[in-house]
Structure 1
Amino acid sequence: MKVFCGIDWASDHHDIALVDTDGQLVARARIEDDAIGLQQLLDLLTEHGDGPASRIPVAIETSRGLLVACLRSTNRPIYAINPLAAARYRERHTITRKKSDHLDAMVLANILRTDAAAHRQLPADSELAQAIAVLARAQQDAVWDRTQAGNKLRSHLREYFASYLAAIQPILGGLCSPVARSLLAAAPTPGRAARLTRPQLRAVLKRAGRQRGIDAEAERLHTALRVPQMHQPPLVEDAMGRQTLTLLRKLDAACTSADELAEAAVESFEQHPDAEIITSFPGLGFLSGARVLAEIGDDRSRFADARALKAYAGAAPVTRASGKSRSVRVRRVKNQRLAAVGYVWAFASLTASPGARAHYDRRRADGDRHIAAQRNLFNRMLGCLHHCLTKRTPYNESIAFPPHPAPVLAVAA
């Protein structure tokens, strides 16, 4: 008897439902989110035919958590069902729109019974690939947090300290640079900044790690921070300076987290056997390569072909046709993290690969806007990446972008 398992996940407990090939409920249970509950689940599966040769597949509405990690270690098929898809399936089983945890577990089990082929299993990635995914995603989150914290601080500084923003504009990294943050910590208000002496500015630059051109930079900052500007009332300006220090601490924490996680992600990525192939592509460094590997994994059976990978990344368009109408649109449902690093990859490859630059220029000449041309280039690069990872061969510029023959002009007789 073939059995399918559905798990309605919650924060502190989980509802289990087992159904057979006829859709009949053969077992149900509620377990706690702990080791005892996990053992109860494994015992329940064993009672209904689960074994090393034939694992009972499991459907659950999440791909993360301790329960999923422990079930993955048993080498069983696990399907992470989108909650929106599960809600649509629920309407097939009840028209009264009733909802319960037990019903949701049965719906998930019946999804596997009827439409398992339409859903993707969790990939069988290696432990190292899963660790890289944790670090790379955390680093990307830290970068987004850093950007948000920087935007909040910049918006606040525009209200009372415009001369500081003008002074740090030439500094590489802008507000997130160590020099800019050290300078703001030393003088969070226009009045205190105007009183900074040249020796104090040199000390700030050295404390931030600056090693060259200290005297010239101190002189530039000394002049820039004394440019006349509009002022808030003194008490208000002092209060806004205190708020600046609070926002600055958040920015410092985000910058430190991003840097430390980037170092850890790169260190783990360098140990992976796919790192050499991924970094052979123009525009992909160790950090961006770690982000790519984190999203595509190292389970080569995950994507049947390059088209599946392109659709997963959102690089392939969506064609909608009905009768005589036909439209080609941008794919909105995609892996947002992979799409984000894809634009960085495509942009960086423009200066690192003559073939990529020529491909981008052709798309622009055909009428594509900048983003559309970059997305098309990312689509091309993903096809090459799928081929190289499958064949275990590094990137080859002449194969990826073969030279186009020069057009032959007809000569009039």
Structure 2
Amino acid sequence: MKLFVGIDVSSEELEACLMNPEGDTLETVKVKNDLHGASHLRDRIIAVSDKLSSSEIHIGLEATSVYSWHPAMFLHEDESLRKRKTKVFTINPKLIHKFREAYADLDKTDRIDAWIIADRLRFGRLTTTIVMQEQYLALQRLTRMRFHLVHNLTREKQYFLQNLFYKCNAFRSEVDSSVFGHAIMEMLSEKYSLDEMANMEVADLADYLKEKGKNRFPDPEHVALCIQKAARASYRLSKVVENSIDIVLGTSIQSIRSIQAQLKELDKAIARILEGISDAKCLRSIPGIDLVYAAGILAEIGDIERFSDQAAVAKYAGLTWRKHQSGSFEAEDTKRIRSGNRFLRYYLVEAANSVKNRDPEFGEYYRKKYKEVSKHQHKRALVLTARKLVRLVDALLRNDQLYTPRRKVKNTGE
């Protein structure tokens, strides 16, 4: 006999419903969402479990941002609960919301929410538990922070380019060198006016670019000429507007450099953790998967044994398409599911984009899918390539195997 415990989580409280396999409520418990409250809840769960002589305990919580993480990990790691064969599930809120629709006459309260979660546990078919080892959790915090910073960096660069257009609208059309190179960023941060850039000696501007760029420009004189051409072709601003734009550009440059420095520190920390995870070697043996992609994928998957097969991994990542079939009819145009772990999906898609450029098999598959349709070709082909990558990732991790393109790896299910 199993004991089912549904927990509704808020920032301040945990509302729990303990239910038997017949759907009868055995007890309700309301405690604070802190260590003392969780300890009391654990004691009540153990007491009811022992009285019921349950063979297993299934505990479910909605994945409510950071609020459910501490109680879920506390209940998962508690030794007394482990002895009673306890499984802890963090459930997608969308799944609970859909399940609730079957009970149209119920009110919306914390106690009822806990009852709904417990009842959903009773129906089963929840394959992914909270189980993740500490190194994966530590890695996940780093890779998710990196995800956050990368998106911030993209937004900051877009904002920088918008303001650069005010200062020198012809810059991007005339200068073929990267705006975000160190030398050009230095030049823009020093607040040269357009007239100053246009009237500088080409040799002096080229020497400046060579010095700031640490001799990385293959043809600094050509870049200097392009910059001067852009400066002469751009609209002129009034002094007051130009001063404001210079301040904004300087601030934006500082933000970009700060984020880039933070990314370097994160990458060092990620590398240190990856050294202690043997699975990283399996993923990095795939051409195109570097340290960051391997870390991002491993951080979200954790132990591959949490998943029954590669299809479960794909569903967890949101790389699954719904079937639409009725009688003899089956729709050809199907949509990808809207749920799933967006971080895992991001790293898989980015990794697939890199792998297709380095591995012939994946490159051929991408091109095949690209040619199949006339709309959204790249996006569709890339997501399908990511789905193919899931099968490879699952096989390598499950078999503790390095990737060898000439030899087919053992696949654990289609």
TM-score (norm 1): 0.83
Is residue 17–residue 29 contact of structure 2 (8 Å, CA) maintained in 1? yes
TM-superposed CA distance for 1:314, in Å, is: 4.0
Question: Aligned residue pairs: how many?
Answer: 394
- Out of 347, 353, 364, the position equivalent to 2:353 is 347
Match of 2:109 in 1: 100
Alignment of 1:66-81 (within 5 A): 66-74=70-78, 75=82, 76-81=86-91
What SS does structure 1 have at the residue aligned with 2:393? Answer: helix
List gaps (5 residues or longer) in structure 1: 402-413
Please give the alpha-carbon distance, in whole angstroms, between the structure 2 residues aligned to 1:183 and 1:108.
59
Is residue 305–residue 398 contact of structure 2 (8 Å, CA) maintained in 1? no
Alignment of 1:378-397 (within 5 A): 378-397=386-405
Please give the alpha-carbon distance, in whole angstroms, between the structure 2 residues aligned to 1:132 and 1:27.
38
Match of 1:4 in 2: 4
Q: Is residue 296 of structure 2 the alignment partner of residue 286 of structure 1? A: no
TM-score (norm 2): 0.83
Q: Is residue 192 of structure 2 the alignment partner of residue 182 of structure 1? A: no
Match of 1:88 in 2: 98
Alignment of 1:12-31 (within 5 A): 12-31=12-31
TM-superposed CA distance for 1:211, in Å, is: 5.8
TM-superposed CA distance for 1:214, in Å, is: 9.0
Please give the alpha-carbon distance, in whole angstroms, between the structure 2 residues aligned to 1:19 and 1:13.
20
Q: Is residue 132 of structure 2 the alignment partner of residue 122 of structure 1? A: no
Is residue 14–residue 32 contact of structure 1 (8 Å, CA) maintained in 2? yes
What SS does structure 2 have at the residue aligned with 1:232? Answer: coil
Q: CA RMSD in A?
A: 3.2
Is residue 318–residue 330 contact of structure 1 (8 Å, CA) maintained in 2? yes
Farther-moved stretch of structure 1 (151-160 vs 365-374): 365-374
Farther-moved stretch of structure 1 (308-317 vs 33-42): 308-317
Please give the alpha-carbon distance, in whole angstroms, between the structure 2 residues aligned to 1:202 and 1:169.
18
Change (3 A) 1:371 1:50: farther
Deviation track 1:240-291 (CA, whole Å, cap 9, x = no partner) reads 2223333333333322222322232233223210111111112211111111
Q: Is residue 159 of structure 2 the alignment partner of residue 152 of structure 1? A: yes
List gaps (5 residues or longer) in structure 2: 410-414
Please give the alpha-carbon distance, in whole angstroms, between the structure 1 residues aligned to 2:304 and 2:95.
26
TM-superposed CA distance for 1:220, in Å, is: 4.7
- Out of 262, 265, 272, the position equivalent to 1:257 is 262
What SS does structure 1 have at the residue aligned with 2:363? Answer: helix
Farther-moved stretch of structure 1 (265-274 vs 144-153): 265-274
Change (3 A) 1:309 1:237: same
TM-superposed CA distance for 1:158, in Å, is: 1.8
User: Which AA in structure 1 matches 2:242?
Assistant: E
Is residue 2–residue 55 contact of structure 2 (8 Å, CA) maintained in 1? no
TM-superposed CA distance for 1:202, in Å, is: 5.0
Deviation track 1:320-375 (CA, whole Å, cap 9, x = no partner) reads 11234312424133333333233332332233222333333444455573333333
Is residue 205–residue 224 contact of structure 2 (8 Å, CA) maintained in 1? no
User: Which AA in structure 1 matches 2:313?
Assistant: L
Match of 1:300 in 2: 304
Match of 2:143 in 1: 136
Match of 1:319 in 2: 323
Is residue 72–residue 90 contact of structure 2 (8 Å, CA) maintained in 1? no
User: Which AA in structure 2 matches 1:58?
Assistant: I
What SS does structure 2 have at the residue aligned with 1:28? Answer: strand
What SS does structure 2 have at the residue aligned with 1:11? Answer: coil
What SS does structure 1 have at the residue aligned with 2:298? Answer: helix
Is residue 17–residue 28 contact of structure 1 (8 Å, CA) maintained in 2? yes
Match of 1:244 in 2: 249
TM-superposed CA distance for 1:316, in Å, is: 4.3
Match of 1:373 in 2: 381
Match of 1:161 in 2: 168
Is residue 270–residue 286 contact of structure 1 (8 Å, CA) maintained in 2? no
TM-superposed CA distance for 1:397, in Å, is: 0.8
Change (3 A) 1:287 1:361: same
Is residue 79–residue 121 contact of structure 1 (8 Å, CA) maintained in 2? yes
User: Which AA in structure 2 matches 1:378?
Assistant: A
Q: Is residue 87 of structure 2 the alignment partner of residue 57 of structure 1? A: no
Alignment of 1:192-207 (within 5 A): 193=197, 206=211
Change (3 A) 1:396 1:24: same
User: Which AA in structure 2 matches 1:83?
Assistant: P
TM-superposed CA distance for 1:10, in Å, is: 0.7
What SS does structure 2 have at the residue aligned with 1:18? Answer: strand
What SS does structure 2 have at the residue aligned with 1:283? Answer: coil
Please give the alpha-carbon distance, in whole angstroms, between the structure 2 residues aligned to 1:323 and 1:163.
60
Is residue 61–residue 81 contact of structure 1 (8 Å, CA) maintained in 2? yes
Identity %: 20
Deviation track 1:162-196 (CA, whole Å, cap 9, x = no partner) reads 2444576413xx43x43343332212753565577
Please give the alpha-carbon distance, in whole angstroms, between the structure 1 residues aligned to 2:254 and 2:76.
40
User: Which AA in structure 1 matches 2:246?
Assistant: G
